[in-house]
Structure 1
Amino acid sequence: MALPRVLVLVLAGGAGGRLQLLTETRAKPAVPFAGVYRLIDFPLSNCQHSQIADVWVSIQQHPTSLAEHLANGRPWDLDRTTGGLMTLPPFQGTERGGWNTGTANSLWRQADLVRAFGADALVVVSADAVYELDYREVADAHLASGAEVTMVTTEVAADDASRYGIVEVDGDRVTGYAYKPDEPATTTATNEVFVFSPGPTLDRLEQLRSELGEEGLEDLGTHLLPAQTEDGLARAYPLGGYWRDVGTVESYWRTHQEFLTPEPPIDLDAPEWPIHTRGGRRSAARVLDDGRIENSLLSGGTRVSGDVRGSVISPGVVVEAGATVVDSVLLPGVRIRSGATVTRAVVDDGVDVGRGCTVGGEGDVALLGRRVQVPEGTEIAAGARYPDPEDD
């Protein structure tokens, strides 16, 4: 018996504003993670291990940063003569042309392509979370259920639940859905992985568009998912493993800290499910002089002569003698000069922290924007943004 035909649509065009300076000049799915990876590597690796070879990526904000990383899809076995990776930029020329203004709006704009593909199941995912999941298993469960949509769910902290789509369930049936509610009824959240029956879902989306207009479609959780739930056609698929949304600076920093534990939540090099990425040629990491590394991730091409503790050091980073980096995430090409101290901070690509600077401290996470030069002796407080967006 032939396998069901499954199409994956990765919605990678959002602005990612909650990541602030990290998405000023790059797409959110292109934000680095754990030294050598990008956020989009997680859904693409999931596709590869799920044996799904038809993957479309919807792009919009800062598309070059993402297109450069995706290239022809080879790291995820998507460089194929037929099928494989296809990027979907905004377009004009038909009634569906225009800028994407939400996730449901984005799906509506690609409806003709999706219908023409003829998938049995359409898997729609975001690209701002860290997790492993067999999408084909979810698609098989969806097709067996007779539902119009299957929502993959996870448990979240009560004080964080209002950031997500929240569901109420009876067995596997979704009986209630609320999109980012002020007062969540439960702590069971959708993790932005949905499996749709393409025909009925696109028909429903077309009806919503006729009632609300294309701008009124907004996100999947605004009208589409509530309507499917109200009609009794939504099912839940609990995710048993690790999942973290890294769409805010605080959650991005905190998730990195979780990967520094003796037993990280996901083994990124597990033989049965490795996370793949577009590799670069880097020399071995070097620890020089009196350099000291403790409980940290150290990438290729780095040079450490200072003291690094509880931190993620991305490719090409230099920590000079006498510098100290604690509980921080340094993205590619950062240089921390002699005598500087960086504590509880996320430091973007190519930043140069001058001699004797103090960045961050105990408290909220500090954030330094891409390629900024921090003058010698500067003090940047815990939780600060540098440069300050309000100075623009």
Structure 2
Amino acid sequence: MKVNKKGVVAIILGGGQGSRLYPLTETRSKPAVPIGGKYRLVDIPISNCINSDIFKIFVLTQFNSASLNAHIKNTFNFSIFSQSFVDILAAEQTPDNPTWFQGTADAVRQCMSHFLKHDFEYALILSGDQLYQMDFNEMLEAHIKADAAISIATLPVNAKDAPEFGILKTNHESFIEAFIEKPNASLLPEWESEVSEQMQEKGKKYLASMGIYIFNRQLLEDLMADPETKDFGKEIIPQAVGKHKILSYQYEGYWTDIGNIDSFFEANIGLTADIPEFNLFDDENKIFTRPRLLPPSKFRNSNINQSLISEGCIINANEIKNSVIGIRSRIGDGTVIQHSYVMGNDFYQDIDEMNKDTANNKIHVGIGENCYIKNALVDKNVRIGNNVHINGGKHLENFTNELYSIKDGIVVIKKGAILPDNFRID
């Protein structure tokens, strides 16, 4: 079945304040958080759309959206002869909508006038903070073939993970008959659904909503007419069950919700595996991002093992192991970095600037000499002096100050922070 892609608009929900990703979201919106050394989170859903030949894309956001605006403006430029676009829709106060977005459904409701200017039959609604690679064509084809009013992408999960999700119960035709939000473990035996034999063998018998939806246009318009419903997962979907044909589209590939520092950290470190579950090296599923005119990375006396090194780096480190190093990173002699994500820098310092910093006893941008950094997230444009020791781990209690935060044992050095010589976190 051939799907008319011109009849589809994609709506990417940028999320709220992203408080669970603090301090990475202190000065930027959640979709703008750098991932994988050179990308941003918003690149993932946008790339999935482009790889699925969906080129009418809206991104909805309201908090700290300046860097996200700049990234999208500098990245996703289509031909002037094309009807393709990636548009940012920031929350705006109007006579009809005097408040900010109150939830995912409210965000879509407040922006409906912008969507309805376009000719489309189906609205594909996506989250801006998930890591996965999906061909939306297959989901759209299943939606049309089943004559569904709504389709929800679902992921088989085990009993341990099920209480963290909205769980769906399906019939033998994969239509959703019931929905429960974050069920108690004692209720799970009643919520098993039909899954593949492979998923059954792994104990993944419960279908979790991935927060990826397809709505028929007219139904979306009708549902958005009720201003009392604020959220898709908590209100729209539960209230639609039993009233409309809702299809469960089962997805068995890699998917993770970048909801907190721990999941964000593990998703990035997971990219360094020999065969990562999220494959950056796939011509069929490219991740598109801002093209940068950066030089190749340069190394001296460095032992690099199972790590991703982005372009434009100057690395004299003694060892980098099981880590992701972002663009324009500068790492000094004798430094050891293990199991960490260094986001890199937005700019280079030239020789004159570095000499001036040295004369004024000011630390250079980057990571200095003879440092030890483990289990850490180093945000952009950080200045770390010499002999700095950061040893993250479960032995550390949660903590935050103006320089860094500790969450679940992961040390997060804040954007632009300055750590002096001999600074220690252990």
The structural deviation recorded for 1:73 is 5.1
Deviations 1:229-249 (A, max 9, x none): 232522110112111112211
- Larger deviation, residues 189-198 vs 20-29: 189-198
- Sequence identity of aligned pairs in percent? 26
C-alpha spacing 1:156/1:16, structure 2 compared with 1 (3 Å): farther
Secondary structure of the 1:177 match is strand
Deviations 1:88-112 (A, max 9, x none): 1222334135311110111111223
Mapped contact 1:174–1:232 kept (Cα < 8 A):
no
Alignment match of 2:50 (pick from 45, 48, 51): 48
**What does residue 188 of structure 1 align with?**
207
Secondary structure of the 2:281 match is coil
The structural deviation recorded for 1:175 is 1.9
Mapped contact 1:353–1:373 kept (Cα < 8 A):
yes
**What does residue 152 of structure 2 align with?**
151
**What does residue 35 of structure 1 align with?**
37
1:374 is aligned to 2:374: no
Q: TM-score, normalised by structure 2?
A: 0.82
**What does residue 355 of structure 2 align with?**
none
Output the CA distance in 2 between the equivalents of 1:73 and 1:349. 19
In structure 1, runs of 5+ residues without a counterpart are 382-392
Output the CA distance in 2 between the equivalents of 1:190 and 1:14. 19
**What does residue 311 of structure 2 align with?**
300
- Larger deviation, residues 114-123 vs 5-14: 114-123
**What does residue 373 of structure 2 align with?**
342
Secondary structure of the 1:104 match is helix
> Aligned-residue CA RMSD in angstroms?
2.1
Q: For 1:46-85, what aligned pairs fall within 5 Å after superposition?
A: 46-71=48-73, 74=76, 77=78, 81-85=82-86
**What does residue 386 of structure 1 align with?**
none
**What does residue 354 of structure 2 align with?**
none
**What does residue 357 of structure 1 align with?**
388
Mapped contact 1:79–1:85 kept (Cα < 8 A):
no
Q: For 1:165-314, what aligned pairs fall within 5 Å after superposition?
A: 165-171=166-172, 172-183=174-185, 185=188, 187-207=206-226, 209=227, 212=228, 217-288=229-300, 290-306=301-317, 307-314=319-326
C-alpha spacing 1:18/1:156, structure 2 compared with 1 (3 Å): farther
C-alpha spacing 1:162/1:58, structure 2 compared with 1 (3 Å): same
The structural deviation recorded for 1:79 is 6.2
C-alpha spacing 1:222/1:350, structure 2 compared with 1 (3 Å): same
The structural deviation recorded for 1:284 is 0.7
Output the CA distance in 1 between the equivalents of 2:81 and 2:34. 26
Deviations 1:347-392 (A, max 9, x none): 11111222222213343222111111112222224xxxxxxxxxxx
Q: TM-score, normalised by structure 1?
A: 0.88
Mapped contact 1:310–1:328 kept (Cα < 8 A):
yes
Structure with bigger gyration radius: 2
Secondary structure of the 2:283 match is coil
Mapped contact 1:72–1:78 kept (Cα < 8 A):
no
C-alpha spacing 1:244/1:79, structure 2 compared with 1 (3 Å): farther
In structure 2, runs of 5+ residues without a counterpart are 192-205, 346-364, 395-408
